[in-house]
Structure 1
């Protein structure tokens, strides 16, 4: 068995490379969604249009590579070591997105991303979710959390439908993050069932829920990328909600544990507030840059019209 030092030498580069791959995947997919006609929310036609875009296919390959690297990292190091490194995909996504759009990386966006990463990393380190359950805990009552997550996703979708601009993008991002987190939590159960026999998952409702919720989450993510002018704010929401929902599922449904000491809970609350600050900063900066870009485009169009006259 590899020593702790050797394990980290394998896990850390794999996690960072995985984060970079996932950042590239998000940036490529977000850019590709701008090249196809804007579609309705959860319209599968969006994926049909994207399937013919080389940049989107590159993003899918990068997603596969990122997932494989994450599995390597998790095989050699604990989740609490790997997860904060994986969250840096937010920075990589911002850098790749700026490169693809041929613009400079915005300093305020970088600061907002770092604040989100710091908040989420601190939350996970303080919460210290532990346990390796791979099935529902005996006597668990999943309904309360189902209602909370379902209402959160539904409200987010309603907001995205009735709103425009940043509110629509953030609504889509919240719904996406919830569905991603639910998919990740249930996939752990499916994986545990598969270890008991390859046919075992097909005898449980869990796999069929994953087959519905997973594709819905992915399609919503593409809607989110298409609607947003800038990738980073929406991706920050998705990146934050995904592991937080996963932790909630582990604790409430699977009997895993988390640090609930008063000081830890206070720190977790402060870390959550820090995440919100980062998201608000990213969202407000994105709105400012979008307005500035719109004004610049109007001036250019006006100057062009004057020259034509």
Structure 2
């Protein structure tokens, strides 16, 4: 990995910030576009067919590609612990872009909740200090317990989303999306490591084919999440938090990477996790309040102040 000297940071930091802004725009544009198509069943591919004809959704797809490219540039010139806290600011950019697209002012509580989530996630990564440059599954790893835990969490979250309504449904969809995104990121790291041994090597292993299933499922779920939720920021906060947390867990449990396991560090990670949950609770509670206020407002009243 290239050392994070001054020159490298001058390249990595702007790339990460602009990449985060691009991903924020992508989320806001896609969330807005999903409101313009008919609400369908969860995991129905017909949703993507309907969205493919929406210019705003296509703009979101272009922004996604740009954001991913800039993320790779940033990671090429700086360590993960420099880049990741900058990339998670996409949550804040998404809130700003979403407000502009819906022609409504920013809500201070929403902004505060987003900042709390970003601070908690950045603190977790800084305290955990995940490290390692694995190129595949570690021979000493024990993948089954984590695989069962992640699979169970995804199934339970989907079950909750199918059996409930409104904010609880959105929360279930967001949890399932975040888990699938994190699993996809972990598997993509495996695929990238295999590709170093030869471009045909990934095609000889199952990780690439699992990515081709899990990745699209996660993306489709994200569109369902955006469509079901009235406000973007609470759902995106859950996704943004779970994605790197699951990635770190996969790195440690499956790929043989290391994380700071000192008692003080574990306590700090737990505290950071509590901060993230507080931020998500702030966002969810405020979203419920604003949605109720809008539903009680007269029909000719101006749009809400979320």
Q: TM-score, normalised by structure 1?
A: 0.95
Tell me how far 1:3 sits from its aligned partner: 7.4
Question: Alpha-carbon deviations, 1:6-51, whole Å to 9, x = none?
Answer: 1111111111000000000000000000000001100000000000
Residues 48, 248 of structure 1: alpha-carbon distance in 2 compared, 3 angstrom cutoff: same
Larger Rg: 1
How far apart, CA to CA, are the structure 1 residues paired with 2:13 and 2:4?
Answer: 14
Once residues 94 and 153 of structure 1 are traced to their aligned partners in structure 2, the CA distance between those partners, rounded to angstroms, is 26
- Segments ≥4 residues shifted beyond 2 Å: 297-300
1:268 paired with 2:277, answer no
Matches within 5 A, 1:174-189: 174-189=175-190
How far is the alpha carbon of 1:139 from its aligned partner? 2.8
Matches within 5 A, 1:179-258: 179-258=180-259
Aligned to 2:59: 58
CA distance in 2, matches of 1:16, 1:198: 31
Q: Distance in 1 between matches of 2:144 and 2:248?
A: 16
What residue in structure 1 maps to residue 123 of structure 2? 122
Q: In structure 1, what is the equivalent of residue 304 of structure 2?
A: none
Query: Equivalents in 2 of 1:228, 1:100: separation in Å?
Result: 16
- Alpha-carbon shift at residue 198 of structure 1 (Å): 1.4
Corresponding residue number in structure 2 for 1:96:
97
Q: Is the 8 A contact 2:33 2:56 kept in 1?
A: yes
What does residue range 129-208 of structure 1 map to in structure 2 within 5 Å?
A: 129-208=130-209
**For the aligned residues, what is the CA RMSD?**
1.2
Residue number in structure 2 paired with 1:36: 37
2:12 is the counterpart of 1:11: yes
**Quick check: 2:140–2:256 contact (8 Å CA) kept in 1?**
no
Q: Deviation of residue 297 (structure 1)?
A: 4.1
Corresponding residue SS for 1:67: helix
Q: Secondary structure at the match of 2:297?
A: helix
How many residue pairs get aligned? The number is: 300
SS in structure 1 opposite 2:212? Answer: helix
Distance in 1, Cα, partners of 2:3 & 2:92: 31
Query: 1:160-212: per-residue Cα shift (whole Å, max 9, x none)?
Result: 11111110001000000000000000001011111111111111111111100
Distance 1:163 1:259, change over 3 A: same
Using the alignment, how far apart are the partners of 2:238 and 2:222 within structure 1? 11
Give, in angstroms, the shift of residue 2 of structure 1.
8.5
C-alpha separation in 1, matches of 2:118 and 2:267: 18
TM-score of the aligned structures, taking structure 2 as reference length? 0.96
Shift of 1:137: 0.5
* Matched residue, 1:303: none
Q: Which residue of 1 aligns with 2:291?
A: 290
Partner of 1:87: 88
**What is the DSSP-based 3-state SS (H/G/I as helix, E as strand, rest coil) of the residue aligned with 2:153?**
helix
Please give the alpha-carbon distance, in whole angstroms, between the structure 1 residues aligned to 2:224 and 2:298: 24
Gaps of at least 5 residues in structure 2 are 302-306
Inter-partner Cα distance in structure 2 for 1:39 and 1:228: 14
Mapped partners of 2:139, 2:88: distance in 1: 32
Q: Is 201-210 or 277-286 further displaced after alignment?
A: 201-210
Q: How far apart in 2 are the matches of 1:291 and 1:298?
A: 13
Question: Equivalents in 1 of 2:128, 2:206: separation in Å?
Answer: 30
Distance 1:298 1:149 in 2: 43
Report the CA distance between 1:299 and its aligned residue. 7.8
